[in-house]
A and B are shown apart, each in its own frame.
Chain A
């Protein structure tokens, strides 16, 4: 039954899915993840568009530079970019069967995510405590906390996702035959990085 759907790919004997999607041959989960990311992009896009609309429509909008420092967030951006690189290297490692290298790079990716969350928490603590910002104060604060908080939840989910794959790699349950799983997780993680790039630009820099 599966021979009829066999596609000639350099997949190193990857476990076959039940369906062979024509858009993403050899990896059904990739099509699913791309579809999910398209929907998630709409959610973030709607939030960012609403932020832009509120900001443009209100001439009394405070200048972000007066409230938000960019030192911490610039470092956060760099950390997330680095974690994307380690994620894609982890994927390359498991696809070529180098499990020790995969574990190292996956661990670095998880570490990058945790560092991002820690710095985000530090930033929030500073803004809530010393700057007196709060989601209840006004639209500037509300949009800020909702956008960064929603993104932070995504990062947290990504950290959990990657940790599971890391632990399964360490216990030996994740084999190079299942590299597709890591590819799908990589898509999610890069999406999270991409959204942060946009949020950082629109909220902090513009």
Chain B
């Protein structure tokens, strides 16, 4: 009985999810991701779509391979807390980063072929003269104590 079930591909005694169906969904989502990547959409649309697709795949793996859908609901609390915290981590620095360019003068890598790069070649930062006029090159206000 179990060997017949094994040959037919269905789970024998456990009424588990259809793993082959989940696998097909994951493969399709991966193919769609690659398609979105190759399509050359505007950056915002591309990023949004790819993040949505990646999360869909992650949820599928978590719910059906890790059996989260079949567990007690309270266990999902352990799984969901890092998701919330990491999302917060990703967004918490945006106001700081988008208004102040702290990483602007990262050591620029030499550009061998700008056309291939697709990015602008980076000029080395200007000579750092010590602050004579108490001015701030980094655009962030100096706290006045």
Residues of A at the B interface (CB closer than 8 Å) are: 10, 22-25, 31, 34-35, 37-39, 41-42, 45-46, 48-49, 52-54, 56-63, 65-66, 70, 74, 77-78, 81-82, 84-85, 87-89, 92-93, 95-98, 101, 137-140, 186-187, 190-191, 193-194, 197-198, 200-202, 205-206
Q: Which of B68-101 contact A (CB under 8 A)?
A: 71-72, 74-75, 78-79, 81-83, 85-86, 89-90, 93-94, 97-98, 101
Task: State whether A62 touches B50 (Cβ < 8 A).
Answer: no
Taking chain B's interface residues, is the majority helix, strand, or loop, or is none over half, making it mixed?
helix
Task: State whether B117 touches A63 (Cβ < 8 A).
Answer: yes
Taking chain A's interface residues, is the majority helix, strand, or loop, or is none over half, making it mixed?
helix
The one of A38, A66, A78 that contacts B78, using a Cβ cutoff of 8 Å = A38
Q: Which residue of A lies closest to B43 (CB)?
A: A206
The one of A31, A96, A140, A200 that contacts B13, using a Cβ cutoff of 8 Å = A96
How many residue pairs at the A-B interface have CB separations less than 8 Å?
164
Contacts of A37 in B (CB 8 A): 79
Task: State whether A56 touches B82 (Cβ < 8 A).
Answer: no
Q: Which of B91-140 contact A (CB under 8 A)?
A: 93-94, 97-98, 101-104, 106-109, 116-120, 122
The one of B47, B90, B93, B116 that contacts A66, using a Cβ cutoff of 8 Å = B116
Q: Which of B1-50 contact A (CB under 8 A)?
A: 2, 6, 11-14, 16, 19-20, 22-23, 26-27, 30, 33-34, 36-37, 46-47, 50
Contacts of B109 in A (CB 8 A): 62, 137-138, 140
Task: State whether A96 touches B12 (Cβ < 8 A).
Answer: yes
CB distance from B125 to the nearest CB of A (A): 11
CB distance from B83 to the nearest CB of A (A): 8
The one of A35, A74, A84 that contacts B61, using a Cβ cutoff of 8 Å = A84
CB distance from A177 to the nearest CB of B (A): 15
Considering the complex of A and B, which 4 residue pairs feature the smallest CB-CB distances, nearest first? A45-B86, A57-B97, A41-B82, A201-B54
Q: Which residue of B lies closest to A92 (CB)?
A: B11
Evaluate whether A63 and B11 lie within 8 angstroms (CB atoms) in the complex, with A45-B89, A78-B27, A206-B50 already known.
no
| Chain B interface residue number, banded | 35 or more
Task: State whether A62 touches B119 (Cβ < 8 A).
Answer: yes
The one of A56, A89, A138 that contacts B19, using a Cβ cutoff of 8 Å = A89
Contacts A35-B78, A92-B11, A186-B66 known; 13 new A-B pairs at CB < 8 A: A10-B13, A37-B79, A49-B86, A56-B98, A57-B104, A66-B117, A78-B27, A81-B23, A85-B20, A89-B19, A187-B66, A198-B54, A205-B34
10 contacts between A and B (CB under 8 A): A45-B82, A46-B89, A48-B90, A57-B97, A66-B117, A70-B37, A82-B23, A139-B106, A197-B58, A201-B33
Evaluate whether A23 and B97 lie within 8 angstroms (CB atoms) in the complex, with A34-B79, A89-B19, A191-B66 already known.
no
